[in-house]
């Protein structure tokens, strides 16, 4: 961690996502971000929404999907009321990145989490925080560097989101968070970017 609670400059990374998935991730409802490509990034990942407007049908489909998934764990998430576009929404902590098959084969993984693994690679996300006022930003493709000046400006405005479930969600509960040595019960691979 750098001064003032900010991470070192090299970890100021951001991922642009379409809505409603971006807001669902930042609100802690979505815990796995699926991609066709892996990442070695671990730690804070800022989330920006793209300018594409989600259809009401897509929003409802995702609400139904995540209501069902969390219902399997006897949780009832608080869904966002709005899905702002073209803004920096907040951040999550990327605990690890595993292939879908590695994640699905993990011992003790709840059925709901297993159903979130629909892509080749799974970014395991936890500790969501949102900006009270989302900030306009032009995103980029894949994971891209967020200017340190913006991160420093916005970090104090990050607020915790309502907890989904009885206790805070953590991938370490399933032995899947990379430790300081980058290892998990499922050995962490280094992926080429």
CB atoms within 10 A of CB 8: 10
pLDDT for 12 equals 87
pLDDT at 150: 86
pLDDT at 190: 47
pLDDT at 179: 61
Its pTM stands at 0.86
Q: Distance between CA atoms of 2 and 11, rounded to whole angstroms? A: 10
The dihedral region occupied by 142, where left means phi > 0, alpha psi between -120 and 50, and beta the remainder, is left
Confidence at residue 107, expressed as pLDDT on a 0 to 100 scale: 87
* CATH for the 3-174 domain, from 3.30.450.30, 3.60.15.10, 2.30.130.30, 3.40.50.300: 2.30.130.30
- The structural domains of the chain, with segments of one domain joined by +, span 3-174
In this prediction, the residues of the chain whose per-residue pLDDT falls under 50 are 1-10, 180, 182-193
For residue 140, what are the CA distances in angstroms to 48, 68, 126, 179? 9, 32, 23, 29
Contact 103/117 with Cβ under 8 angstroms? Answer: yes
* pLDDT score recorded for residue 11: 54
The structure tokens 């990942």 sit at 45
pLDDT at 73: 87
Q: What is the pLDDT of residue 76?
A: 87
């Amino acid at each position: 961690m750098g001064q003032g609670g900010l991470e070192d400059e090299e970890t100021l990374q951001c991922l642009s996502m379409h809505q409603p998935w971006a807001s669902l991730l930042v609100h802690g409802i979505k815990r796995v971000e699926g991609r066709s490509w892996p990442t070695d990034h671990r730690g804070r990942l800022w989330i920006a929404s793209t300018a594409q407007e989600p259809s009401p049908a897509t929003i409802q489909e995702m609400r139904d999907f995540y209501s069902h998934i969390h219902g399997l764990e006897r949780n009832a998430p608080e869904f966002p009321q709005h899905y702002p576009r073209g803004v920096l929404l907040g951040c999550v902590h990327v605990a690890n990145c595993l292939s879908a098959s590695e994640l699905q084969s993990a011992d003790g993984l709840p059925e709901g989490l297993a159903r979130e693994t629909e892509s080749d690679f799974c970014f395991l996300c936890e500790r969501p925080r949102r900006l009270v006022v989302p900030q306009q930003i032009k995103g980029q493709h894949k994971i891209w560097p967020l200017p340190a000046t913006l991160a420093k400006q916005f970090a104090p405005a990050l607020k915790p989101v309502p907890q989904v479930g009885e206790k805070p969600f953590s991938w370490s509960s399933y032995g899947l968070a990379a430790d300081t040595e980058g290892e998990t019960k499922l050995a962490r691979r280094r992926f080429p970017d």
